[in-house]
Amino acid sequence: MMAYGSAADAQDEYIRLAETTAISCLENFVQGIINFFGDEYLRRPTPADLQRLLDIGEMRGFPGMIGSIDCMHWEWKNCPTAWKGQYTRGSGKPTIVLEAVASQDLWIWHAFFGPPGTLNDINVLDRSPVFDDILQGRAPKVNYTVNGHRYKLAYYLTDGIYPKWATFIQSIPLPQTPKASLFATYQEAVRKDVERAFGVLQARFHIVKNPALIHDKEKVGKIMRVCIILHNMIVEDERDGYTQFNVAEFEQTQSNRTSHVDYTLPTARLSNITEMMITRNEVRDKRTNERLHDDLIEHIWQKFDTNQGYNQDYN
């Protein structure tokens, strides 16, 4: 049912299970996977994970980048009639939104599932807990240097709908200079990591690709969580075979790194509301976004330099 997206009553001819028994087996399997493996495969990045993500981001031309963020819609065929209005956008069909952060190896580090399909990416972001650890003072501290300027907040690559915050870097819609064109080329290529993760998730588990047939939204959410857990399991087992980056050179030569993670995890949360508001303003600082954006444009131009090399990459 999860792998091929088949209906519950379709199992009767093959394994002699009635529809209600097949649904019960699916629910028990889903709950068991969440209980046993959820903490490990739905975790936030540890300091070691962050350092590896920063090293890979630096190799790809984006120091301080720890992934890409975007949203995906899952059609909910059996949405209750009373809820269809808030889950249906325009004249389409009811959908539920998944917000996810994915890295180059397709590991999904953050998953927020459940907002109605009428919400766009910005509305989902307003409800999302993606920055809760930073706002509460529980996130590992990150320091990195771009074009001679130091920064302390890691960032995600996004599309154009996301706001200009210090933690988001967008592409350039209509680049007018060679530097801007080169930056847009690399940013849009690297940002596709999250799109690839969505595609692989749907290809592996057709239950996510096909419309959801379950009426209970909580059970639909658990199925999505289990698909992400199993997806991350597969990524952990297979990523050494297809990864394109070797971070061993960073481990051998610490001086090569311009991005560092403080391995001393914070032990106390920010209890003062003033401190939390200051941190919130830092996360949403537009001036930092603009300065980091300009620094990254210059950094990528220097890293993937020369007009000859640029023309080859751009063509």
What's the confidence (pLDDT) of residue 266? 62
- 261 domain-assigned: yes
Is 1 among the domain residues? no
DSSP 11: G
Alpha helices in 65-177 (DSSP H): 84-87, 121-127, 132-135
In a domain, 2, yes or no: no
Give domain status of residue 105, yes or no. yes
Segments forming the whole domain that contains residue 185: 8-314
The CA R_g of the chain, rounded to the nearest whole Å, is 21
* Tokens 């990864």, residue located: 243
Residue 100 within a domain: yes
Beta strands in 175-285 (DSSP E): 259-261
Give the Cβ contact number of residue 41 at 10 Å: 21
pLDDT tens, residue order, the chain (315 aa): 899 888 888 878 778 888 889 899 999 999 999 999 999 999 999 888 999 999 999 999 999 999 999 999 999 999 999 999 999 987 789 999 999 999 999 999 999 999 999 999 999 999 999 998 888 888 888 999 998 899 999 999 999 999 999 999 999 999 999 999 999 999 999 999 999 999 999 999 999 999 998 999 999 999 999 999 999 999 999 887 766 666 565 555 555 567 677 656 565 565 678 888 888 999 999 999 999 999 999 999 998 865 644 444 444
pLDDT value for 315: 43
- Residue 66 domain-assigned? yes
For residue 308, what pLDDT is reported?
Answer: 44
Burial class of residue 222 (count of CB atoms within 10 Å of its CB; 0-12, 13-18, 19+): buried
Q: What is the pLDDT of residue 8?
A: 84
How far apart CA 264 and CA 241 sit, in angstroms, is 31
Domains held by the chain: number? 1
Whole-model pTM? 0.89
Question: What six digits make up the tokens of 43?
Answer: 């975790």
Give a yes or no: residue 165 inside a domain.
yes
**Is 259 contained in some domain?**
yes
Beta bridge partners of 70: 100
Q: What is the DSSP letter of 215?
A: S
| DSSP classification of residue 89 | -
CA atoms lying within 13 Å on the CB side of residue 197? 33
